[in-house]
Amino acid sequence: MAGRATPLVLTLASGSPRRRALLEALFATRSSEALGFPLKVVPPRVEEAGEDLPQDPRELALALARRKGEEVPGEWVLAADTVVDLDGRVLGKPRDRVENHLFLRLLSGRTHQVHTAIYLRTPQDLVVEVHTTRVRFRNLSEEEIAWYVQSGEGLDKAGGYGAQGLGMALLEGIEGDFYTVVGLPVARVFALLWERGFRP
């Protein structure tokens, strides 16, 4: 694809620093060599709550990813949304440390699902799909929960924890794609882009 007159630009419809970092690792231009394509980040202004949204966790992730992607213009647009599903109950971003503590107590010693939906709009088509990974927490003591909550790491994350940060100490096992838990199934996104001609 060398010699392209107009470089392709992937627009990420997200305010998540984690999704941005994952995509920059794949697609950002590095040093003097164009090893990838520019990444444009446009956080969408959408409501992530409302009576019109589905209650089912998987369907909620899909609806929010679609809502974010449709809000942002561009030829190549990627949006995603992650929902933590504990036996059908959605655990969103905790409102405060008290709720973060409650979420971790609920997750302690149990297995839950993490659904990450992606919305990819290209000049050729539209892909909207959801990916699911199972996560099991260790049995956590009250002291461990308090330690993690005090860090503040979980306040801006679905379920109230970050698997890629201090939260790794809380996990006992993961069945499926780790990056789906972080917030973006990177290998799948890369494959979808590659198949459609978005290549370094």
Packing angle of the helix pair 97-107, 142-151 (nearest 10 deg): 140
CA atoms within 13 A on the CB side of 129: 11
Let me know how many helices (H) and strands (E) the chain has, helices first.
6, 7
Q: How far apart are CA 119 and CA 68, in angstroms?
A: 8
Residue type, 102: L
The pair of three-digit structure tokens given for residue 120, joined into one six-digit string? 């990819």
**Could you list the active site residues?**
81
Q: Which residues contact 88 (CB under 8 A, 6 or more apart)?
A: 56, 57
Q: How far apart are CA 38 and CA 77, in angstroms?
A: 13
Q: How far apart are CA 78 and CA 14, in angstroms?
A: 8
